[in-house]
Amino acid sequence: MINFENMDQAQLVNTLAELTEKYKEYAAMGLALDMSRGKPGGGQLCTSDPMLDVLRSDSDMNTENGFDARNYGLFDGIPECKRLFADILETTPDNVIVLGNSSLSIMFDFVSQCMTHGAGGEPWISQGKIKFACPVPGYDRHFSILEYFGIEMVNVPMNSGGPDMDMLEELVKDPSVKGMICVPKYSNPTGITFSDDAVRRIAAMKPAAKDFRIIWDNAYVLHDLGEESDRLLEILSECEKNGSGDMVFEVASSSKMTYPGAGVAALASSKNNLDFIRKRLFVQTIGHDKVNQLRHARFFGGIDGLKAHMKLQAEHLAPRFQIVFDKLRESFGENGIASWFEPRGGYFVNLEVPENCAKRAISLCKAAGVTLTGVGAAFPYGKDPGDSNIRIAPTYPKTDELSAAMDVLCLCVKIAYIEKNSKQKLLP
């Protein structure tokens, strides 16, 4: 491994020339590789295909409480699916509402609800400038929702055990801070799981805003890569211990358990909040897709069946993460250029490169046919303050493609680093 840090200018320039030659070889290969989104790969999707055989024309279509899943009704979900999500989220079915196929839509709609009808107080839209605390780097689509509704986002750095709690606790003293949005387990993109201490401190917060809400996107709740897995403290009961269960608005979905294009999503919250949400939901729909809810409930049979299914998913995911770890160790293990965290689950690896190098590396990758998540995507307003963050999404490509893509990425990071330190540029 080359140690870039001790190189003098001449060595840097020589190395840049060598790396540029390699880069040109890749660029000439006509690659079209995509590490931009946390999408399951084709083989991984196939593990869920037997679900399509669960409900057929001659199946019993009644839910366990005797409703015909094909017809109108049961607007807050079928009981077997509520129980499944309650088990997933380690809560009780009466804290759960099961909805359509997208937890993103649920979060969007919740923010929309708070804007026009409030969260137990005045509508947010009538309260002037309001803000959300956003652990960063975070999930770009969360930030898009907040931006769409004109909610100002305040960055809170992610530490190794979750968001910077001192900063967060300070922030919520501002009554215009109405909430936070986060992925608490195998966080997108850092892969970090909030520590027990962080969860307890979050649950113990007494925000100045009485209508403060935590959007707890538990997207990777059961998405372990191997036997060793992270453990996240259950937020709702922690908040309830502090008498603030109403702060929690948790979501999860089966998008990355079965099909991203045809899953089932759910929310969990306090009784108060659910009552408020049900009033809206009753106006909003006569019911979500209960046939798909029934299909999921019968396919898994229960939480044990689901956990077994997640192991099949991990068989597809683990080797891909291993490739990413191996390539990163190989390229950056000792030269200190880049740092990363090796998560035990989730869908991403977060790569920190030297300041002002991320944009250049991503752009070099793009020119060589390797697509990464857009520059700054993991930050509110797309602004990565250090221009140093690269989100790697290893799940979608085939393994050989992923290897090639990682080679290109590592190469481009090195080039960007040397360009910056040598003030030389050999590539457009």
Tokens of 422: 């040598």
* Cβ contact 348:17 at 8 Å: no
**From the CB of 379, what's the least distance to a second copy, in Å?**
17
* By CB under 8 A, residue 104 contacts a second copy: yes
**From the CB of 378, what's the least distance to a second copy, in Å?**
17
**From the CB of 243, what's the least distance to a second copy, in Å?**
30
Please give the DSSP secondary-structure letter assigned to residue 91: S
Beta carbon nearer to a second copy, 117 or 366: 117
Segment interacting with a second copy (CB under 8 A) among 1-9, 107-115, 217-225, 301-309:
107-115
For the chain, the straight-line distance linking the first and the last C-alpha, in angstroms and rounded, comes to 26
**Residue 59: exposure state from Cβ atoms within 10 A (0-12, 13-18, ≥19):** middle
Residue 394 φ then ψ, to 5°: -90, 0
Task: Select from 7, 11, 108, 420 the one that contacts a second copy (CB under 8 A).
Answer: 108
Residue 346 to residue 43: CA distance in whole angstroms: 17
* By CB under 8 A, residue 116 contacts a second copy: yes
Q: 362-395: string of b/e by CB count within 10 Å (b at 16+)?
A: bbbbeebbbbbbebbbbbbeeebeebbbbbbbbb
* By CB under 8 A, residue 372 contacts a second copy: no
* By CB under 8 A, residue 71 contacts a second copy: yes
Mark 145-164 with x for binding to a second copy (rule: CB under 8 A) and - for no binding.
x--xx---------------
> How many residues line the site for a second copy (CB under 8 A)?
57
Residue 126 to residue 130: CA distance in whole angstroms: 10
Beta carbon nearer to a second copy, 202 or 266: 266
* By CB under 8 A, residue 83 contacts a second copy: no
Segment interacting with a second copy (CB under 8 A) among 101-109, 269-277, 345-353, 381-389:
101-109
Residue 277 to residue 97: CA distance in whole angstroms: 9
Contacts to a second copy from residues 260-289, by CB under 8 A? 260-262, 280, 282-289
Counting every residue written for the chain, the total comes to 428
In 119-168, the DSSP E strands lie at 131-136, 152-159, 162-163
Segment interacting with a second copy (CB under 8 A) among 26-34, 137-145, 229-237, 331-339:
137-145
Q: Which residues bind a second copy (CB under 8 A)?
A: 37, 39-40, 42, 45, 48-53, 55-59, 61, 68-74, 100-102, 104-105, 108-109, 112, 115-116, 125, 141, 144-145, 148-149, 255, 259-262, 280, 282-292
